[in-house]
Amino acid sequence: MRNWLMGMLLTVLPGLAQADTAPAAPPLVVVELFTSQGCSSCPPADAVLRQLAARPGVLALGFHVTYWNGLGWRDPFSFEAATQRQRQYQNVFSTSSIYTPQLVVQGQAEMVGSDRATVEAALRAAMQTGGRGPSVALATSAEGFKVDIGPGSGAASVLLVGFDPLHTTPVGRGENAGRTLQEANVVRSLRRIGSWDGARLSLAAPVPDGERAAILLQAADGRIIAAALPTS
């Protein structure tokens, strides 16, 4: 009997040890591309974003700005909140102007969106320093979504993002006239739904415009300290 019990322990304990030491899901690194269908320099950056959108551990978002709309082609996915968000980053990074294609990694580094080497370096740096924010869970509910944020240090705005996974658009005029553009994770809406002050927080969120949703926790200095996609 004793030998049988020892055999069972030897069988079960390794499995428990593996469960305890199994790696947790990596935190999401948020990549934001400010782009426009009216900008001839943007398609290469859009291609970079499409690749990043398929990468595990990366939340890639395409914000289509409005200031190209008067130059021959109105981007159907442009909205003023995207332009306002880029202007907020202009203050964060103290840049002289806003431009496309601009890519921002984790709210902490900005670069030309088509510069793959610089983008990859910024991603590696963000992944090395990630995982220090609070836990964030986004789950579907009868009313829309339920957001649960764990305790931690600091403070942040809670942002609800709605986006579409992919759009293909034939462009009829402007700098990209005659081209058919493929753009990934096109942001359709951005809304602040609350504030986190370091204490555990639960929020109800409506269904945003867009086929999918995400939550961002962003500090006053622009840093994105946590992000989440729906778990169910």
DSSP letters, 105-122, are ETTTEEEETT-HHHHHHH
Q: What residue type is assigned to position 187 of the chain? A: V
| pLDDT of amino acid 26 | 56
What is the structure's pLDDT at 114?
Answer: 98
pLDDT (0 to 100) of residue 100: 98
**pLDDT value of position 116:** 97
d(CA 19, CA 140): 27
Burial of 192-217, coded b for 16+ CB within 10 Å and e otherwise, reads ebbebeeeebebebeebbbeebbbbb
Residue spans of the domains in the chain: they are 28-228
Q: Cα dist. 37→33, 50, 60 in Å?
A: 12, 15, 17
To the question of pTM greater than 0.85 for the whole model, the response is yes
Mean pLDDT of 180-204: 98
pLDDT > 70 fraction of the chain, expressed in percent and rounded: 88
Q: Where are the alpha helices (DSSP H) in the chain?
A: 2-21, 42-53, 80-93, 116-129
The pLDDT of residue 9: 33
* Measured distance CA(117)–CA(103) in Å, rounded: 13
pLDDT tens digit string along 37-90? 999 999 999 999 999 999 999 999 999 999 999 999 999 999 999 999 999 999
The overall average pLDDT reported for the chain is 90
Over residues 88-110, the mean pLDDT reads 97
